[in-house]
Amino acid sequence: MPWWKSSINGSSAFLVSHTSWRNKWPGGQQVRQLEYLVERELSLDASYRALWWCTVQPETWRAEGIQPEGENYTSPGLLWKALTEDVDFGSPAESRYWAIFHYQSEMLQGPRSIGLVEDMRRFAAMERELEMDYVELLNSCQPQSMDAEQENWVADPDLPTYSWENAAEVPTASLPVAELDLWKPDIAAAILPGKEVHVQVPFSLLQNVKESFLKNNISYEVMIPDVQKVIQHQTMVAPENQKISLNNFDYTKYHPMHEIYDWMTQIREEYDDIVTLHHLGTTYEQRPIFYFKIGWPSDQKKKIIWMDCGIHAREWISVAFCQWFIREILENQHSNPVLNKALRNIDFYIVPVLNIDGFIYSWTTDRLWRKSRSSHKNGTCYGVDLNRNFDAQWCSIGASENCSTLTYCGTGPNSEPESAAVADLVGSLKSEILCFLTIHSYSQLILLPYGYTKDPSKNHEEMLTVAEKAAAKLQQRHGTTYKVGSSAHILFAQTGGTKVPDSSSGSSRDWAADLGINFVYTFELRDNGTYGFELPENQIKPTCEETTDAVLTIVDYLNEKYFNSANSLLSTNLWINLCLPFIIAIYY
């Protein structure tokens, strides 16, 4: 079911996928009763006025002079027209989130559905989509009971009615609608019965949400009691005019973008024999995106391992890992046997922060911002989920075409300058890239292609074997366990194989696999939800240590697979060439 948000004269209305109160809203209601409910809720909460839609008989609409004679259906578009004409919205400040509508998909049946669909298109043309509210959360956790209630609602033509005189009998919502920030999974469609759901709740609604969960027999645990307190602690940084030094750079701290830019420059200058810094592209807000090329000089063309971090702004541990891993290569290139072998044949292309605009915004304004910062619909909503913007079954599943959602896929494949920059460079180097790694958080997963289908990639078994070795190596360091598999496979397994999972399309991982790169992985780093995206700094070191072990396991496999036999052959030929003149000299 779609979620819509509209803005008219400064007021907002919601179209919500909601089933739990359907059978409490009968036919035969007067439009005036909707006004009453607005007034009733307004007296309780001026910021959140709940207005519940009941199906109104066509005769009622005609009596109100709203619906043309001969029309035989009720649509959200007509209801919206009624409300805009008959309901006093109040000031924008008072009516920030004031109305809820429910659009019944079962109405799209029979000959009358054509008119309803067309009216919905007009209705939706000016709407914006929300991510989730607590009602959707309840419905997702209790699908069987909700489905049964829906069936009863559809099957019963003799539902009771409520009159204006008996308005007190009309059931009203016990909770206002709230925008909840869904953390895990990142789309409502992936919520499964019996599985954990992580969601951020505004403090003003916390008690009401707790009571609602208790009433609906949903167990819960408060993971982070005060999100803002954690944010304030993590975003305490030095002034921008205070320069950093590699000598005292702290890899166990999170760093804002101006410090990371300084760090990039100093890394390039300090290790200019092995490091070059390249311009990848420019962000929407005109900031430069850089990547490091790290490798020992060679006269021969070398293969590439790609790594990007920070595609989602709030995933700070991802950025911290890229910095840590770069330091690991540079400081241990000779002492670490895996790096020592790999750097002879492989160059690392590493993007420390891809979504720079969003990353900066997560430091200055909204710690939990996910998307980029591009402007859409005349500045009414911002940002694209860059990991839904690549040309891999773009926007077909697990993504939204509505710009106010967290998973907004953009206006087209690679519509954003950040994703387009990656697509251009990686596309031009695809024959040289052995492995594509994209680093995210959280959930402790190593994910393989694909997210948009359960069909395996061409070398799925080999990729899976390597990933399992990497996860085992990771666990040896600190005991952290990771799940391994394709996005679709992991979700499908969690359902017991009872339904096709809703995963995601447009990811950089799936795009790289479709491009023909043989080894493609998404790392979802710590943790499993205790801190979520706000992983404390005391976990940076263990997270980066164990993830480095996992990545180097993959690197070692690739080096052995592609270069070990070639190196042995080269050594044998070199020995013969060196010894042959000596043997000939003795003979003569």
Instruction: Provide the annotated active-site residues.
Output: 524
Tokens of 318: 């991802």
Distance CA 367, CA 315 (A): 10
Distance CA 141, CA 196 (A): 10
* CB of 532 closer than 8 Å to CB of 196: no
Task: Report the candidate in 281, 278, 302 with the shortest Cα–Cα distance to residue 291.
Answer: 278
Residues 171, 177, 180, 186, CA torsion sign: positive
- H or E segment to which residue 484 belongs: strand 483-486
* CB of 29 closer than 8 Å to CB of 62: no
* CB of 441 closer than 8 Å to CB of 526: yes
Residues 384, 388, 394, 396, CA torsion sign: negative
| Measured torsion, CA atoms of residues 301, 305, 394, 396, in degrees rounded to the nearest 10 | 140
Distance CA 397, CA 395 (A): 6
Omega of the bond leading into 158 within 30 degrees of 0 (cis): no
Distance CA 62, CA 28 (A): 12
Q: What is the DSSP string of 488-547?
A: HHHHHHHTTTSS-----SS-HHHHHHHHT-SEEEEEEES-SSSSGGG--GGGHHHHHHHH
Q: What is the DSSP string of 358-406?
A: HHHHHHHT-TT--S---EETTTTEE---GGG-SSSSTTSSS-BSSTTST
Looking up tokens 């939706």 gives 124
Give percent helix, percent strand, percent coil of the chain, each to the nearest 5. Answer: 45, 15, 45
Q: Tell me how far apart the terminal alpha carbons of the chain are, to the nearest angstrom.
A: 89
Distance CA 84, CA 9 (A): 10
* CB of 265 closer than 8 Å to CB of 335: no
Distance CA 588, CA 585 (A): 5
In eight-state DSSP terms, residue 246 is: G
Tokens of 178: 């709230």
In eight-state DSSP terms, residue 182 is: E
User: Within a 10 A sphere around the Cβ of 416, how many other Cβ atoms?
Assistant: 27
